[in-house]
Amino acid sequence: MYYIPLQQPLDPAFMDGLLAMGWYRMSQHVFTTRYVHLSETEVFEVLWARVALGRWTPGSRHLKLLKQNRRFRFSLMPATLNAETEELYARYRASIDFESSASAQAYLQDQQPHNFFPTRMWQVRDGNRLVGASYFDEGLSSAAGILTFFHPDYRKYSLGLLLYLESVRHAAQSGKEYFYPGYIALENPKFDYKLQAGKEYIEIWQPDQMNWIPYASCAHARQDPAEAGHGKSASDWQESA
């Protein structure tokens, strides 16, 4: 793993360049890696992904989720961290089966008082109740999804997936060229929900060649259970993750 700590706000155009070279945000620095340790015995090769937005349109899964969740109020705003978001994050963290930062503040800012990234957020409310939140960084020509969480009582609504897809839609409608959701992993479908943005729009970073290739040409596509016609699809894993 390689990382660059930040000591001052990151210029949005410079962030675009870092994302285009396979770097990504982690708290208050940027990093890149080819392998992730999910536990002491689990190591997976990861592939950095991005969604090309020039021809992107919402898919059927996206439109179905919008229809199913029209009772909720989605609001886009400058990023905030407060008692309400921290309470929601704590409920979410208690319900998941993987390690995460102790608080949303720790995840995003590592307890520093200021955020060095150009961040915005979605809030999802059921009446006055905050039930979902999603943070993304917005550059000049790109955006990057950073953190999404939701109330565990609302898991059946797939708010995590919908917030991801709505961030992609917002980036496309804002004239961005790319949306960066992070990585997918070989031999581990946990992150395959990111493919729900549309495999035909997704590109994969090749660090050895220093270029992006279509998803269909990468190693993940060749071992994708959905492509092979068996096993769980990305949407199945999103529902159960």
pTM value?
0.91
- Enumerate the H helices of 4-136 as residue ranges: 12-20, 60-68, 83-95, 104-109
pLDDT of residue 224: 62
CATH architecture of the domain covering 2-240: 3-Layer(aba) Sandwich (3.40)
Residue carrying structure tokens 């495999």: 199
pLDDT score for 225: 57
Is residue 113 within 8 Å of residue 157, measured between CB atoms? no
Which tens digit of pLDDT belongs to each residue from 116-170?
999 999 999 999 999 999 999 999 999 999 999 999 999 999 999 999 999 999 9
Res. 226 pLDDT band, cuts 50 70 90: low
- Return all residues near 132 (Cβ < 8 A) that are at least 6 apart: 72, 88, 122, 123, 124, 148, 149, 150, 151, 154, 159, 160, 163
Each domain of the chain, given as residue ranges in start order, spans 2-240
